[in-house]
A and B are shown apart, each in its own frame.
Chain A
Amino acid sequence: MDVRGQHDIAASAPAGTGAGAPVGATATTFADAVPTPVLAFSDASFVYAGVGRQVEALSGLTFSVAPGESVAVIGPSGCGKSTMLLLAAGLLRPTHGGVQAHGAEVSAPSLGTALILQEHGLLPWKTVEDNAGLGLLIRGASRKHAREQVREALVHLGLGDFVRAYPGELSGGMRQRVGLARAVALNAGLLLMDEPLSALDALTREDVQNTLLKLWIQRGHAQVLVTHSIEEAVFLGRRIIVMSARPGSVCAVVENPDMGEPGYRQSPTFFEACGRLRVLLAAARRHLAEGQQPAGSQQPAEQGAVS
């Protein structure tokens, strides 16, 4: 299996440094060796202003994603993972700090970024081909051109026989594949995914995970996957960012260089990585239970290659 860029990526983000380094880490030491990130959070904070109260969802979030890198983000519920993706997609603006994508400050949705959401991603009143081609249509393509463009992506994702079907006629896994086809059709350099597989049964989930991995290897885009699943984070994250509870910040960064290897899901290193991640998540939760600051806000985040 040709695991695209595996060794390059591992080298570009060594333990304790690189694109994923949180505040206080020594990322700048290796700045010259790191390519311009496709996505970078710089001390970003976000506060939701509700009626009569404010909720700080993110605080001092700092990490970056290199071109072609696959990053998984995991953390407790409500830690601001989805908010982080909305900031990256240009759908929210940070209250403090900055978010850069493709070398420019993010102020609006960008042509180079695609976002896949857990639910609501597909429009039930549009056929598979029209859902997949919606991004192209919005960006000025004719309906005919958009349909032609997405046809190949749909065939590639095993949806060739369902182009005229409505989302309501598809299984959960097929619906997620349509969302993927939409992102593929946009040819975006950065793919953001907010728990895209959480509603799927175990077997379908593994199937779509394999599809995501295959697409990443073939297309060379960078991707950020927000997930609640430790196994999913380890299977799809070359680098895994552990976030603290609200207000979310980077709590730990785990390098996972064996990700993408053939048979990785059944390998001892996979289970070892899962175990290590489980310990980190439990530690983050314990810190909070003891009323302490999240680890990421006290000290440089724990980092290190798992395997």
Chain B
Amino acid sequence: MRKVMGYIAGALALAAIWELAAIALGSPALPRPSAAVPAFVRLLPGLWPHGLRSFARVLVAMLIGTVLAVPLGLVVGRSARIDAVLAPIIFITYPIPKVVFLPILLVLLGLGNAPKVALIALIVFFQVLVTARDGARAVPEGTVLSVRSLGAGRFDVMRHVVFPAALPELFTALRISSGTAVAVLFFAESIAGTEGLGWFIVDAWGRIDYPSMFAGIISMALMGVVIYEGLDALEAWLTRWRRV
């Protein structure tokens, strides 16, 4: 309840700042919330399929990126030999802005969902991979020894020690990458395709329909909140031991 009240208070504060900025600028490019919010409500029946499409793209991409990155990162972090081989490759490729691969992905995968999902998955993959590797390396050796003394093999150590120990850091990485993912989604959807919130926003911009454009922006913000809160709830459930 406190969280909901916080969101309401935050939204009201933002609306007040937005209203003041719109009045001060007096530009049609920044409509007042009193125009944008009714536009959002009015356009909702046509907006939600775009929102759902964007949401599904982000969700699937984050899932793919995470599922691939977590096991690899944990293995790399716990094996000096594998780390010696893969860490240089990771360090060379990690700083490259993955968005530069969008043209290649569009050529290879077409204009549909695949290149957008692949691009976001790539971004999430690297952020989670690096965090998983660091998380696995940070597990105290004493903890590993105590479990190994029970007869645990590598898989048991990963399952009972390394993965749960790295979970809080993994969720931090996911939260950070979710912001990047939504930003990249907007970019990818605005360049190719005719669906998604990114396309909706750019299309409204092209038609100089600023209230509609802001209705899309509000939708994107709401999607970000849903993803963020979803990750928060999942983390709270999976790492409930941290709250004691």
Which residues of A line the B interface, CB within 8 A? 86, 89-91, 109-111, 113-115, 117, 119-121, 123-126, 134-135, 138-139, 165-166, 168-169, 182, 186
Interface majority SS on A: helix, strand, loop or mixed?
Answer: loop
Q: For residue B159, give the distance in angstroms from its CB to the closest CB of chain A.
A: 9
Interface string of B136-158 (1 = CB under 8 A from A): 00001011011111111000100
A123 near B149 with CB under 8 A, answer: no
- Determine if B147 and A123 form an interchain contact, defined as CB atoms under 8 angstroms apart: yes
A168–B244 alpha-carbon span in the complex (Å): 6
B180 close to A (CB within 8 Å): no
Taken together as a complex, chains A and B put the C-alpha atoms of A109 and B242 apart, in Å, by: 30
Contacts of A123 in B (CB 8 A): 143, 147, 160-161, 164
Asked if B143 and A120 sit within 8 Å, CB to CB, the answer is yes
User: Contacts A125-B164, A125-B241, A168-B244 given: A138-B147 contact, CB under 8 Å?
Assistant: yes
A111→B151 contact, CB < 8 A: yes
Q: Which of A114, A117, A125, A138 contacts B152 (CB 8 A)?
A: A138
Q: Please indicate which of the listed interface residues A138, A165, A182 has the most CB atoms of chain B within 10 Å of its own CB.
A: A138
CA distance A117 to B140 in the complex (A): 13
Q: How far is the CA of A126 from the CA of B244 in the complex (A)?
A: 12
Known: A117-B142, A120-B143. A135 touches B151 (CB 8 A): yes
CB under 8 Å from chain A, chain B span 219-244 = 239, 241-242, 244
Residues of A near B164 (CB, < 8 A) are 123, 125-126
Known: A115-B146, A123-B143, A126-B160. 9 other contacts (CB 8 A): A86-B145, A89-B149, A109-B150, A115-B149, A120-B142, A120-B145, A134-B147, A138-B156, A168-B242
**Interface residues of B, Cβ cutoff 8 Å to A:** 140, 142-143, 145-152, 156, 160-161, 164-165, 167, 239, 241-242, 244
Residues of B within 8 A of A113 (CB): 149
* Chain B residues in 8 Å Cβ range of A121: 142, 146
Residues on the A chain within 8 Å of B242, using CB: 124, 168
CB of B165, distance to nearest CB on chain A (Å): 8
Q: Which residue of A lies closest to B141 (CB)?
A: A120
Known: A125-B164, A125-B241, A169-B244. A138 touches B150 (CB 8 A): yes
Complex: chain B residue closest to A124, CB-CB: B241
A138-B160 contact, Cβ under 8 Å, with A111-B151, A168-B241, A169-B244: yes
A109 to B157 CA separation, bound complex (whole angstroms): 14
The smallest C-beta distance from A140 to any residue of chain B, in angstroms, reads: 9
Nearest-CB distance from B192 to chain A (Å)?
43
Given that A125-B239, A168-B244 are known contacts, is A134 also in contact with B143, CB under 8 Å in the complex? no
Q: How far is the CA of A120 from the CA of B152 in the complex (A)?
A: 15
With both beta carbons as reference points, the residue of chain A lying nearest to B150 in the complex is identified as A135
Q: CA A165 – CA B241 in complex, angstroms? A: 9
Of B145, B150, B239, B244, most buried by chain A (CB within 10 Å of CB) is B150
